[in-house]
Chain A
Amino acid sequence: MNETLTKEMGVIEEKHPMENILRMDRIPHIWCPTCGIGIAVTSFAIALEKSKIPLDQVCVVSGIGCSGRVAGYVKLDSFHSTHGRAIPFATGLKLGNPKLKTVVFSGDGDIIGIGGNHFIHSARRNMDMLVLCINNFIYAMTGGQLAATTPLTANTSTSPYGNYETPFNLPYLADSCGAVYVARWTVLHVRRLANSITEALNKKGFSFIEIICPCSTIYARRNRLGSGLDLMKFYHDNSIIKHGANTKELDIGFQQKIIVGKFVDRERPTFLESLNDWNRKVFGDKFKEYGGPDDGD
């Protein structure tokens, strides 16, 4: 309503440069003040523009959670799937139409917590997709429960005396399962994040980027860390850029140094390439290569 009012008053003369990628009728979004997911969406939009992939060949799949809302806000083919099942849905999309560039944009609770099994098997098979994992260390939308990425000693609503479970080290998990591109950035590194997403969009295979994101309403409030701006200042002072670092050493402690950068960049045959190669070997000339529903006959 506010926006239509200002439009009627003629205040907005020019359009936001990202209006061709965002569904502006759904903006303002529901994310809290100082939440970083909007910055991640901006970086993704910049990367899409830079990578020059036609917009009708990109599709975004989200799961449930705060970052699951991204699928509703981008003006691309997008789907808001069930909890933890964003990666299987994207796998189906990719196999149904291999020309698509599938992007999974979801949170740590969705991809690693609920859908952890799908994540490791997609990385093992090297499905051609890009996974952007927004890590805010907590299940934020459902009220702040303990997530698989909550650092030790952090307070959540299901660990009111502090967390004693060892969290996942996401880049190490992705690396050991066989992802071809693994990076980690905070939302403060906007330009580096956009460049990293551009690089990953142009790469074949399972690419994984962990985006560390401030959550002021739940995580910072429960742990008395101040506002989202304080968290951003913390990232500014405590993030160390270390490209090619050993992924074993990338654990994140509670309010400790965060190592960011691009850790893994390698080549492996993707799922469809191995499928075609193997079947050609077994069946010889009888086999017709699979490249989508509308090729061949």
Chain B
Amino acid sequence: MKFWRKPLDLDQLEIPHGEIHIVKDRCKGCAFCVEYCPKDVLELSDEFNIKGYHPPYVKNPDQCLFCRLCETICPEFAIWVTEKQKEVKKVES
């Protein structure tokens, strides 16, 4: 992760990571989550779901910072994020 300025307490900070769950058959392909994800984690897939829409898939799973914007902005209640269990991850400076 890039910082425009290095925080002084960088060693103590722990950046949360999220795991994204998608119910593909509930998706109606509006692409709000893809458009408004601040880290470009999601992308529309080429496959069709049971309704004939293109559901998103997780392109960069490591980039997700657990901001839960996709969960909030999804009109279909089809996507949600859970916090990944901490694996003692330290930020590389």
Residues on A lying within 8 angstroms of B by beta carbon are: 2-3, 5-6, 11-12, 14, 16-18, 22, 27-29, 31-39, 42-43, 46, 188, 190-191, 194, 228-229, 232-233
Contacts and interface: CB of A to CB of B under 8 A. Distances in A.
Given A12-B23, A33-B29, A28 B80 contact: no
B21 interface: yes
A12 B80 CA distance: 12
B25 A17 contact: no
Contacts of B53: 33
Interface of B: 21, 23, 25-26, 28-32, 35-36, 50-51, 53, 69, 71-77, 80, 82
A22 B76 CA distance: 12
A76 B55 CA distance: 30
A28 B76 contact: yes
A5 B72 CA distance: 25
B73 A190 contact: yes
Contacts of A232: 32, 35-36
Given A3-B26, A33-B53, A229-B31, A38 B82 contact: no
A96 B26 CA distance: 39
Nearest to B28: A33
A47 to B, nearest CB: 11
A225 to B, nearest CB: 15
Given A3-B25, A12-B23, A38 B75 contact: yes
